[in-house]
């Protein structure tokens, strides 16, 4: 999840990163109601695919002051434009001074993410098996 402080300094927007939006074909965004007080790491709502539900964890303790109704009506916005029109919540942080240090800037996030993505990019078939069978690239298996 990403957090961007609004110009007023008292509120922030929360959205899904492009990696979250690539999790699957999201079909439904179900937020908690406006006015809800949420502790850090607790659920702000749920995004659902055809196979699973993904909890949206609060990066900061907050009160929800707005939900992006356009994203509720058209979940495709979250996938197509996750950092702009696809934002999910506008919040009022309640513990910002205490919790700000738990957030990462873009550079720190990139450094944290790279080794985790490298684990996912390990080839699915090692050299031991390549002589035992052939793969038909037209089938995609």
User: pLDDT tens for residues 2-17?
Assistant: 899 999 989 999 998 8
User: pLDDT tens for residues 66-125?
Assistant: 999 999 999 888 888 888 999 999 999 999 999 999 988 888 888 888 887 777 665 555
User: What's this model's pTM, rounded to 2 decimal places?
Assistant: 0.78
DSSP symbol at 100: G
- Please report, for residues 16, 42, 89, 104, 115, the alpha-carbon distance to residue 92 in angstroms, rounded to integers and kept in the order given: 18, 15, 10, 19, 33
- Inform me whether the pLDDT recorded for 141 exceeds 50: no
* CATH annotation of 2-120: 2.40.50.100
- Please report, for residues 28, 52, 110, 114, the alpha-carbon distance to residue 55 in angstroms, rounded to integers and kept in the order given: 12, 10, 23, 23
Q: Return the minimum-mean-pLDDT range out of 40-44, 63-67, 75-79.
A: 75-79
Higher pLDDT among residues 20 and 140, named by residue: 20
What does the pLDDT read at residue 110? 84
Higher pLDDT among residues 5 and 135, named by residue: 5
Return the residue matching tokens 């720190």: 108
């Amino acid at each position: 999840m990403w957090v961007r402080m609004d110009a007023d300094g008292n509120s922030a927007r929360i959205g899904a990163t492009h990696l979250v939006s690539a999790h699957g074909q999201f079909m439904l965004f179900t937020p908690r109601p406006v006015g809800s007080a949420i502790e850090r790491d607790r659920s702000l709502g749920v995004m659902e695919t055809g196979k699973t539900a993904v909890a949206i964890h609060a990066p900061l303790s907050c009160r929800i002051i707005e939900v992006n109704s356009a994203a509720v009506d058209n979940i495709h916005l979250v996938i197509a434009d996750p950092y702009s029109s696809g934002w999910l919540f506008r919040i009022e942080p309640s513990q910002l001074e205490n919790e700000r240090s738990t957030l990462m800037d873009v550079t720190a996030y990139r450094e944290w993410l790279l080794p985790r993505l490298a684990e996912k990019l390990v080839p699915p078939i090692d050299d031991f098996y390549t002589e035992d069978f052939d793969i038909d690239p037209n089938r995609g298996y």
